[in-house]
């Protein structure tokens, strides 16, 4: 929710500012500052949750790639980063509601090994490593 609000503010600012500095330049600058120096060039990784199975269970990626998590089950999920009951924000996202067929994307700004799980069904979990 915080992330969505922030994006609205950023794009609102870009629209007001766009006629002066150019919308593209402004958006790139905002993107860089929001994602700690990552440019818009990256590899997109996709993880799906189907029949309560996370696939692939582990994703190996490079810094500044993106990771999209999609819920293919007709079940309401809340994807959370970190271990259950000790959620830790990644790319500004601590938890995200994912209804059936919804997805969200984070930029892999931080290197290391990370976990995520469905807070509503915490046996549904995956990991990713950012090199
Ligand atoms: Cu949890």
CATH number at residue 48: 2.60.40.420
Which residues constitute the domain of residue 59? 44-130
For ligand 1, the distance from its centroid to the CA atom of residue 47, given in whole angstroms, is 18
Residues 30 and 60 in one domain: no
Model confidence pLDDT, tens digit, residues 34-54: 676 787 668 999 999 999 999
- 58 Cα–ligand 1 center, Å: 18
pLDDT in tens, 6-19: 444 444 444 444 34
C-alpha 10 – ligand 1 centre gap (Å): 29
Q: Is the pLDDT of residue 88 over 50?
A: yes
Query: Given this model, what pLDDT does residue 67 score?
Result: 97
Measure 20 CA to ligand 1 centroid, in angstroms.
45
Distance from residue 6's CA to the centre of ligand 1 (Å):
24
Give the C-alpha distances (Å, rounded to integers) separating 130 from 50, 64, 91, 101. 24, 9, 13, 26
> How many independent structural domains does the chain possess?
2
% of the chain with per-residue pLDDT over 90: 67
Whether residue 64 sits in one domain with residue 125: yes
Residues 28 and 59 placed together within one structural domain of the fold: no
């Amino acid at each position: 929710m915080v992330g969505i609000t922030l994006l609205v503010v950023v794009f609102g600012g870009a629209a007001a500012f766009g006629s002066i500095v150019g919308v593209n330049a402004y958006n790139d600058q905002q993107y860089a500052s929001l994602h700690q120096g990552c440019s818009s060039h990256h590899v997109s990784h996709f993880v799906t949750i189907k029949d309560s199975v996370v696939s692939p269970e582990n994703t190996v990626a490079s810094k500044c790639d993106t990771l999209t998590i999609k819920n293919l089950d007709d079940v309401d999920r809340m994807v959370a980063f970190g271990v259950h009951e000790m959620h830790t924000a990644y790319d500004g996202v601590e938890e995200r509601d994912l209804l059936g067929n919804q997805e969200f994307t984070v930029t892999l700004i931080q290197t290391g090994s990370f976990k995520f799980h469905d807070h509503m069904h915490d046996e549904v979990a995956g990991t990713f490593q950012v090199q």
